[in-house]
Amino acid sequence: MTLAEKILAAHCGKDKVSQGEFISVKTDLVLSNDITAPIAIKEFNRLSVPTVFDPAKVVMVPDHFCPNKDIQSAEQARMIREFARKHGIIFFEVGQMGIEHVILPEKGMVLPGDVVVGADSHTCTYGAMGAFATGMGSTDIAIAMATGEIWMKVPATIKFVFNGKLRKWVGGKDLVLYTIGKIGVDGALYSAMEFHGAAIDALSMDGRFTMANMAIEAGAKAGLFHVDKKTRDYLKGRTTRKYTEYKSDADADYTQVIEFDAASIEPQVAFPHLPSNTRPVSQAGKIAIDQVVIGSCTNGRMEDLQIAAGILKGRKVDSRLRCIILPGSQQIYLDAMKEGLIETFIKAGAAVSTPTCGPCLGGHMGVLAAGEKCVSTTNRNFVGRMGHVKSEIYLANPAVAAASAVLGRIASPEEIA
């Protein structure tokens, strides 16, 4: 069996499951946020159940429009806050919270071998830890909150092998953008993406989170990494809960095996209006920009901020643009303060935000006007994603984003660092 099949088999009481089989799966964690939870709550309240299946396994995080940007977002946040208090579930309030897909691993709430379902498409982020994690609709999440189970079809698995050593300035964001550029936004439709190879072994946990996060941008059901020493080291001190490590079999049935030479991959830029519209930064051209965003559930982790700060230190953000930095969690914000990264950002002329999804979905704190162009470390660049339908989003890694902030145009970090 593949890694996905082994985890799912263990959670549905079977010795073996196969691609295309419909199964009922027990969940280890059920997640929703301030946009998706209200719908799930309304559906949950229609069920004849007194409370959730296990309060310790249901989590709500107000991260999209919080701190509240308007009356409607305030009402939605209040709705999930009251539901959380009523049922005793886990709730992260403003001041304690961060972006959901950053804080759950950070707090040891997702472990290898878990099945996690969330009312957010980027729930697949947790596959970086050897968990099967996937996004679902709010109605499915209502059922999961009530029963602790969810039905699904066992996905096919595509194996991606990245051979060789990464170039300087190339990280997980570039590997996943390059992959999506090659296979397209539906190239892994309802499949699990399994990542392998020397370049993957060398990748940090932060880089793996980035790759797993964007598996959905290739249409995948999940993006998975095997557990190794880096995974175990990351988990030290975060949890006392026991977990199971699974590994795909040597004779696992993959629908495809796709190999890449990682050493040949440059930093990538995804041009409007699809994550698959990628090209190397050296071929991006000198496109003037109006805004840079560094953060999100894709690239708002400590390593991302360290890379950006390394480029911005002693330099200034171009006066013709705004640069917005969003740490992924309160802990990352605090760690960045202790390291002096926040001071570096502010001295460079960047704005530093409280942890929030904010501009990623055109929510707040960085919405684009008509005709504006933004280089962003977020995960989607669809039409109107960050604001006006006539704005443009260019996806890139934190190094490219920081270099672009300094030079006022899409730029390679090689140009200044």
- 134 and 248 together in one domain: yes
On whether residue 95 sits in a domain, the answer given is: yes
CATH of the domain at 226: 3.30.499.10
Q: Residue 417: is its pLDDT beyond 90? A: no
- 103 and 141 together in one domain: yes
The CA-atom distances, in angstroms, between 311 and each of 86, 121, 159, 261, 314 are: 47, 31, 34, 27, 8
- 199 and 218 together in one domain: yes
Closest to 315 (Cα-Cα) out of 290, 349, 351, 342: 349
Distance (Å, whole) CA 145 – CA 252: 32
Percent of the chain whose predicted confidence (pLDDT) is above 70: 100
On whether residue 403 sits in a domain, the answer given is: yes
On whether residue 391 sits in a domain, the answer given is: yes
Which one of 201, 232, 260 terminates a domain?
A: 260
Which one of 260, 286, 316 terminates a domain?
A: 260
- 231 and 280 together in one domain: no
Number of domains forming the structure of the chain:
2
- 288 and 364 together in one domain: yes
On whether residue 300 sits in a domain, the answer given is: yes
User: Predicted confidence band at 101 (pLDDT cuts at 50, 70, 90)?
Assistant: very high
- 88 and 60 together in one domain: yes
Secondary structure in 3-state letters for the chain: CCHHHHHHHHCCCCCCCCCCCEEEEECCEEEEECCCHHHHHHHHCCCCCCCCCCHHHEEEECCCCCCCCCHHHHHHHHHHHHHHHHHCCEECCCCCCECHHHHHHHCCCCCCCCEEEECCHHHHHHHHHCCEEEECCHHHHHHHHHHCEEEEECCEEEEEEEECCCCCCCCHHHHHHHHHHHHCCCCCCCEEEEEECHHHHHCCHHHHHHHHHHHHHHCCCEEECCCCHHHHHHHCCCCCCCCCCCCCCCCCCCCEEEEEEHHHCCCEEECCCCCCCEEEHHHCCCCECCEEEEEHHHHCCHHHHHHHHHHHCCCCCCCCCEEEEECCEHHHHHHHHHCCHHHHHHHHCCEECCCCCHHHHCCCCCCECCCCEEEECCCCCCCCCCECCCCEEEECCHHHHHHHHHHCECCCHHHCC
On whether residue 168 sits in a domain, the answer given is: yes
- 217 and 338 together in one domain: no
Q: Residue 97: is its pLDDT beyond 90? A: no
The rounded mean pLDDT for the chain is: 96
The CA-atom distances, in angstroms, between 2 and each of 165, 190, 362 are: 26, 15, 37
- 287 and 222 together in one domain: no
| Domain carrying residue 366 | 269-412
Q: Residue 63: is its pLDDT beyond 80? A: yes
Task: State residue 386's pLDDT score.
Answer: 93
- 316 and 217 together in one domain: no
Which one of 211, 241, 260 terminates a domain?
A: 260
Distance (Å, whole) CA 417 – CA 407: 12
Q: What is the pLDDT of residues 191-240, one digit of tens each?
A: 999 999 999 999 999 999 999 999 999 999 999 999 999 999 999 999 99
- 17 and 141 together in one domain: yes
Task: State residue 215's pLDDT score.
Answer: 97
- 277 and 383 together in one domain: yes
225 close to 215: Cβ distance less than 8 angstroms: no
Q: What is the pLDDT of residues 241-268, one digit of tens each?
A: 999 999 999 999 999 999 999 999 999 9
- 250 and 283 together in one domain: no
Count CB-CB contacts under 10 A for residue 253.
13
On whether residue 417 sits in a domain, the answer given is: no
Q: Residue 134: is its pLDDT beyond 90? A: yes
pTM confidence score: 0.95
Closest to 11 (Cα-Cα) out of 190, 152, 189: 152
Sheet holding 90-91, edge to edge: 90-91, 58-61, 29-33, 115-118, 132-135
Q: What is the pLDDT of residues 351-402, one digit of tens each?
A: 999 999 999 899 999 999 999 999 999 999 999 999 999 999 999 999 999 9
Task: State residue 219's pLDDT score.
Answer: 97
